[in-house]
Amino acid sequence: MGKKGTEIVASKIDVNEVIADLNKAYADEWLAHYQYWLAAHWVSGINADAITSRLTAQSADELLHAEKFANRIMELGGAPVMDFAKLAEVGGCGYSKPPEDQGNLKQVIEDVISAERCAIDFYNRMVEKYRDKDYVTFELFKTVLLDEVGDEDEWEDLLSQQP
């Protein structure tokens, strides 16, 4: 753990609270990664190709977000969620399994959009919370927030293109 870095954070806010917020984000990123990855492999049909390639790319992005949050948690002397079964409990945005109908692309897209919107809402609150308390965590939430805002926009476009 970074001693000086953690000391600075601890002078403004309870470090355990920061770690808990970061773990919530970490769990949500894993769930989004898994949701998008599984949906990418599950969907089928003539219009599925574009959706599949976006889901695959974005699922990789969400895993990179999880990695960033994990690194920050460890920098602060914490541990990322160790029990895989606890992810849904720790996260704030839930997990939507792919629809039974593999051709229901609209449902898949809507589920992605609601996950992105939930993340945007949470990260936006975190940016507000940390801007004067922990600049490193603030920058991290801000960076990921920008990504999710871009994601939401992209999926809204994909939704509008659905028949």
The binding site for Fe ion (CB under 5 A) comprises: 29, 62, 65, 148, 151
Measured CA to CA, the distance from residue 50 to residue 153 in angstroms comes to 16
Tokens of 163: 């028949």
CB of 87 to Fe ion, least distance (A): 14
Nearer to Fe ion, 30 or 130 (CB): 30
Least distance to Fe ion from the beta carbon of 32, Å? 6
When the beta carbons of 33 and 134 are compared against Fe ion, the nearer one is 33
- When the beta carbons of 24 and 65 are compared against Fe ion, the nearer one is 65
Nearer to Fe ion, 29 or 134 (CB): 29
Residue 133 DSSP symbol: T
Asked if residues 35 and 28 have their Cβ atoms less than 8 Å apart, the reply is no
Residue 160 DSSP code? H
Q: Which residue has the tokens 């801000």?
A: 142
Question: Rounded distance, CA 112 to CA 159, Å?
Answer: 10
